[in-house]
């Protein structure tokens, strides 16, 4: 019997064959601690009686949600992190470099075949390079910091195959939103999504990141792609035979299979206030909006900014509409400056902010109030996420977001 990608990764990690439902103890290759969870992780770490971190070189501490501080208590998280890093000799610390999920692959940490955990649900992002990665709570992370291990249940896998060529106005964000609409919010609970097909093969790593990032929105434990030459180039490594073997076998057993034809896909929106409330953009055309947010760990990469800039070039953001652009990392910001992307967005009237999570988690400026609508490229549109509970959040691709910014209403790109 063959194996899925996730089964192969876990089997290599634990040193034996595994099947869905097995409980195994995984050796952690990388763990990520974000600023939100720092004080709580540290408290649990101390309560558990640990006096050292199992391997300081495998821990990445990232300040991204609370920078710059927008509430008085935020700085407590920074101080706690600083003190812990100094006390236990942590070597990988990013204080203003960008969003945790962007940095974990961009900065060269997580590689194909790795097992990684992070204190944020969108840790599923690292599946874009062929890793098993998932989010955990602060108690589990405290245990990892002390032992370097965590038990997991081997998940079943849902195979998602997309073949063909995407229409020019359809992006990977539209693809994953369509999948979420079909699976629904609980349709893949504690299962893995394995993406395959010619459409996926032609996607950039950045586009794959968007899809693996949002795998959690249908309850998935992870969302994984097979490593290829693009993956190796992105990670700055050679593509080994071991990495090439990280594909789902033809005789692997899948819990379910979904198949899509790329040419049939259209631009879509996740409408208030659930990520699986999916409708074609054309159905909502003409709906007035107040703000556009381009950024987050879902769609704050260079290709996302470039997509928006290509649409906005020579045009202006509609009067009385705010457009906030937040690059996913300092590296993305520099590249977008160098190639003129930031200049185009700025000339169009967009507000460019420092790299970080920003409005996605309702921080660092741009929150809205009762009755306002925002078209955003992030991953969640829950009540109260970007202001009051009466703010309407529509999730979209960078292309759709840019088109909406120009017209001041929901518009198909």
The distance from CA 65 to its chain's CA centroid, rounded to whole angstroms, is 14
Structure tokens at 129: 């390079």
Same domain, 225 and 291: no
Rounded average pLDDT over 142-167: 98
Q: By residue range, what is the domain housing residue 275?
A: 268-407
Same domain, 191 and 60: yes
Single residue among 261, 277, 308 that ends a domain in this structure: 261
Report whether pLDDT(70) > 90: no
Quick check: is 412 in a domain?
A: no
Quick check: is 388 in a domain?
A: yes
279-326 pLDDT, tens digit each: 999 999 999 999 999 999 999 999 999 999 999 999 999 999 999 999
Q: Which helix (H) or strand (E) holds 312?
A: helix 302-312
Same domain, 198 and 216: yes
Report whether pLDDT(364) > 80: no
Quick check: is 66 in a domain?
A: yes
Q: What is the dihedral of CA 113, 115, 117, 120, to 10 degrees?
A: 30
Single residue among 261, 279, 300 that ends a domain in this structure: 261
Quick check: is 154 in a domain?
A: yes
Same domain, 243 and 356: no
Rounded average pLDDT over 122-135: 98
Quick check: is 127 in a domain?
A: yes
Report whether pLDDT(1) > 90: no
- Percent of the chain topping pLDDT 90: 94
Adjacent-strand bridge partners of 387: 368
What's the pLDDT at 363? 79
Alpha-carbon distance values, 159 to 41, 129, 324, 328, 353 (Å): 34, 17, 35, 29, 38
Q: Considering its fold, how many domains does the chain have in total? A: 2
* pTM for this model (two decimals): 0.96
> How many whole angstroms separate alpha carbon 206 and alpha carbon 106?
10
Instruction: Indicate if the alpha-carbon torsion angle 341, 362, 382, 289 is positive or negative.
Output: negative
> How many whole angstroms separate alpha carbon 44 and alpha carbon 242?
37
199-239 pLDDT, tens digit each: 999 999 999 999 999 999 999 999 999 999 999 999 999 99
Same domain, 251 and 277: no
What's the pLDDT at 12? 98
Same domain, 105 and 185: yes
- The reply to whether omega before 273 is within 30° of 0 (cis) is yes
- For residue 326, the tally of other CB atoms under 10 A from its CB is 29
Q: What strands lie across the sheet with 351-352, from one edge to the other?
A: 278-280, 268-270, 392-395, 373-376, 291-295, 322-326, 351-352
| CATH code for the domain in which residue 75 is found | 3.30.499.10
What's the pLDDT at 327? 97
Single residue among 246, 261, 276 that ends a domain in this structure: 261
What's the pLDDT at 219? 97
Rounded average pLDDT over 239-245: 96
Quick check: is 237 in a domain?
A: yes
The answer to which of 58-72, 131-145, 322-336, 376-390 has the lowest mean pLDDT is 58-72
Report whether pLDDT(67) > 80: yes
Model confidence at 25, pLDDT cuts 50, 70, 90, reads very high
């Amino acid at each position: 019997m063959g194996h899925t990608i996730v089964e192969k990764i876990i089997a290599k990690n634990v040193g034996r064959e595994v099947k869905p439902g097995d409980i195994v103890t995984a050796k952690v290759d990388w763990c990520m601690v974000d600023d939100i969870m720092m004080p709580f992780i540290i408290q649990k770490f101390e309560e558990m009686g640990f006096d050292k971190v199992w391997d300081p070189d495998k821990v990445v501490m990232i300040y991204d949600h609370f920078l710059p501080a927008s509430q008085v208590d935020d700085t407590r998280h920074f101080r706690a992190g600083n003190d812990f890093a100094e006390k236990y000799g942590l070597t990988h610390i990013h204080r203003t470099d960008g969003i945790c999920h962007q940095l974990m692959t961009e900065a060269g940490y997580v590689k194909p075949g790795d097992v990684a955990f992070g204190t944020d649900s969108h840790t599923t992002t690292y599946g874009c390079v062929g890793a098993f990665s998932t989010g955990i709570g602060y108690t589990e992370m405290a245990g990892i910091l002390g032992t370097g291990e965590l038990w997991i249940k081997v998940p079943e896998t849902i195979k998602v195959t997309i073949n063909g060529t995407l229409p020019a106005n359809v992006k990977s964000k539209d693809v994953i939103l369509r999948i979420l609409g079909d699976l629904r919010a609980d349709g893949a609970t504690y299962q893995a999504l394995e993406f395959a097909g010619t459409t996926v093969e032609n996607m950039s790593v950045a586009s794959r990141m968007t899809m693996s990032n949002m795998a959690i929105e249908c309850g998935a434990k992870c969302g994984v792609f097979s490593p290829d030459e693009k993956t190796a180039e992105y990670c700055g490594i050679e593509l080994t035979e071991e990495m090439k073997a990280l594909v789902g076998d033809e005789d692997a057993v899948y819990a379910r299979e979904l198949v899509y034809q790329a040419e049939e896909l259209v631009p879509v929106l996740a409408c208030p206030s659930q990520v699986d409330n999916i409708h074609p953009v054309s159905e909502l055309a003409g709906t007035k909006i107040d703000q556009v947010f381009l950024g987050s760990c879902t769609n704050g990469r260079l290709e996302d900014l470039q997509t928006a800039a290509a649409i906005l070039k020579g045009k202006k953001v509609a009067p009385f509409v705010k457009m906030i652009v937040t690059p996913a990392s300092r590296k993305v910001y520099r590249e977008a400056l160098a190639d003129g992307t930031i200049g185009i967005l700025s000339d169009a009237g967009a507000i460019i902010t420092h790299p970080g999570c920003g409005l996605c988690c309702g921080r660092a400026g741009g929150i809205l109030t009762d009755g306002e609508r925002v078209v955003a490229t992030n991953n969640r549109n829950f009540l109260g996420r970007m202001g009051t509970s009466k703010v309407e959040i529509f999730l979209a691709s960078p292309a759709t977001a840019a088109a909406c910014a120009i017209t001041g209403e929901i518009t198909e790109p």
